[in-house]
Structure 1
Amino acid sequence: MALHWKLVIDCRDPHALADFWAEALGYAVEDPSGLVEHLLGAGQLPEAATVRHGGVRRFAGLAAVRHPDDPFDDFSGTGRGRRILFQAVPEEKRGKNRLHLDVHGDGELEALVTRLEGLGAELVERVDQGPAGRWCVMRDPEGNEFCAA
């Protein structure tokens, strides 16, 4: 039996990073506003644990993106498929990632790199291993490494 999973990325600003990755991957930013408003109304969530982002009330320390074709819960906005959750942590990123995303474009590598740079990514290194492949090592706006291929 296959398990449900999500990739969780620690970060300083989960909403900005979710916006970046949603745009970079063509994913949808999850909208938890129904759940947040319900919890606020029931007194189960303090106002200080929320933030207004994208015109709706969201959890302050969490944001997620999901593949637009995957199912999701209408009430909570939670995806039930391919998702990435960004959670706020107090410390800055240190050292190299032990896990990273590979972003594959449909066309020319340079066009993909240019598009990602336009969204706030930084090009770190170009790798050319001949027949084994070409890719670029990049960093998202918080410095998390990923590869564009």
Structure 2
Amino acid sequence: MTALAVAHLVLVAAYAGFQWTVRVVVYPQMARVGDGFAEYERAHQQRISRVVGPLFAGQGVTTCWLLVLALRGSAPAVPVLAGAVCLAVVLGATWLGAVPQHRVLDRGWDAGAHRRLLRVDSVRVAAATAGLAAGVWLVLG
């Protein structure tokens, strides 16, 4: 289980770093793109998917595996469950909040959609950070 816990920690740490970078650097810069925003947004979505897709998939695999081990009593249940809840919040906020705002932004700059995207992304940052804490707890606890 130690190698699995470390692999999980690496994935949640990578995702948390990614999410903080998006929230602090990428999304605030969107407001400065100007002409050609729709093309910029579509390129952003294509490129960012190549990074976030594997991170989501990897976290999904390690989280499911850890949940099975926790159910069997082979992994500590509380940090595993906490991490699973954090991942569920991230995925829910992504699919129910961020994706719809990106679809609006696909059509061109929309300040309201951008504000909503930033709010949703703050939820993802908080959940990713909490997921990282749960991963550290799992490895060190």
Q: TM-score by structure 2 length?
A: 0.24
Q: TM-score by structure 1 length?
A: 0.23
Q: Which has the higher contact order (CA 8 A, sep 6+)?
A: 2
